[in-house]
């Protein structure tokens, strides 16, 4: 007798078509409604593990490894796009404002 899989979120029984996020099995509806795709690494994570902002969805690891928070506006800035003034990271707009003042 084979093991019956159930969705980790809603508990419905799953057939051979199931999805995975963070080592949990999910039905299609929960997969698309309860998870997001990290825009940095492409992996799926549960919505409550989104460490991005209003503009980008990120896993905690990707945010910590590849992004800084602008000192002035608090927007997330990708490592390759960050501007520095001393030890303070800035987005391009805030850096121009800070540098020009």
pLDDT for 3 = 77
For residue 50, count other CB atoms closer than 10 A to its CB: 17
Q: pLDDT digit string (tens) for 66-91?
A: 999 999 999 999 999 999 999 999 99
For residue 4, count other CB atoms closer than 10 A to its CB: 8
pLDDT for 100 = 56
Q: What is the pTM of this model?
A: 0.80
Burial (0-12, 13-18, 19+ Cβ within 10 Å), 75? middle
The residue-averaged pLDDT of 40-55 equals 96
The answer to whether 27 and 19 have CB atoms below 8 angstroms apart is yes
- Checking if the pLDDT of 46 tops 90, the result is yes
Supply 54's token pair.
């209003």
């Amino acid at each position: 007798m084979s093991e019956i899989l159930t969705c980790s979120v809603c508990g419905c029984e799953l057939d051979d078509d199931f999805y995975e996020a963070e080592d949990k099995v999910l039905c299609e509806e929960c997969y698309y409604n309860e998870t997001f795709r990290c825009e940095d690494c492409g992996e799926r994570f549960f919505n409550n593990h989104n460490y991005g902002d209003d503009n980008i969805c990120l896993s905690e690891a990707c945010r910590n490894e590849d992004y800084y928070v602008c000192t002035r506006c608090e927007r997330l800035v990708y490592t390759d796009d960050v501007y520095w003034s001393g030890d303070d990271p800035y987005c391009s707009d805030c850096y121009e404002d800070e540098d020009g003042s």
